[in-house]
Amino acid sequence: MSDLRRAERHQLQFQIVFDDGDSYNAGHVEDISATGMFLVSSKHLAPGTRVRLEPVETEEDALFEVVARVVRAEDLTTRSERDGQEYHGLIGLALEFETLDAAGQHEVRRMINVLEERAAAGVHDPFLGITVTAPAK
């Protein structure tokens, strides 16, 4: 099976809030790239659904709002454990960022860099109430 990914995946794990047009929901990001992310949530969304990923902080303006589209939804119940977590009843959502202009692409890359720096330093995010971490390689 060939890998059709267009951008390098960054294994950064953090919480995010998203709006699917009907309700606000929370999810856990497993990885992110310049073109999308893989989000784990209890909210099932059909492929093609547009979601607005909300900023998780405003202090440094490091994270920003972006619109994405669900390209794949995967029932994670069959995963007994992954990254030390139970996945019973959770859905994995492969999200593709909607068309981003050059400035938007730059902002996504900047956000990834900020998150990687925080993960390397084990920085505690006061808004999320967690320490942003990157898994050991």
Residue 137 included in any domain: no
Number of domains comprising the chain: 1
Residue 128 included in any domain: no
Determine the Cα–Cα distance for residues 45 and 74; give it in Å rounded to an integer.
10
pLDDT at residue 59 in the model? 47
pTM above 0.85, yes or no: no
Q: Taking the chain (137 residues) in consecutive chunks of 10 residues, what is each chunk's mean pLDDT?
A: 61 84 90 90 94 67 77 82 67 90 83 80 60 58
- Residue 93 has phi, psi (to 5 degrees) of -115, 115
Q: What CATH number corresponds to the domain at position 72?
A: 2.40.10.220
**Token code pair at residue 133:** 């971490």
Residue 134 included in any domain: no
Expressed as residue numbers, the domain containing 113 is 14-123
Residue 47 included in any domain: yes
Return the number of other C-beta atoms located less than 10 Å from residue 13's C-beta.
19
pLDDT at residue 73 in the model? 94
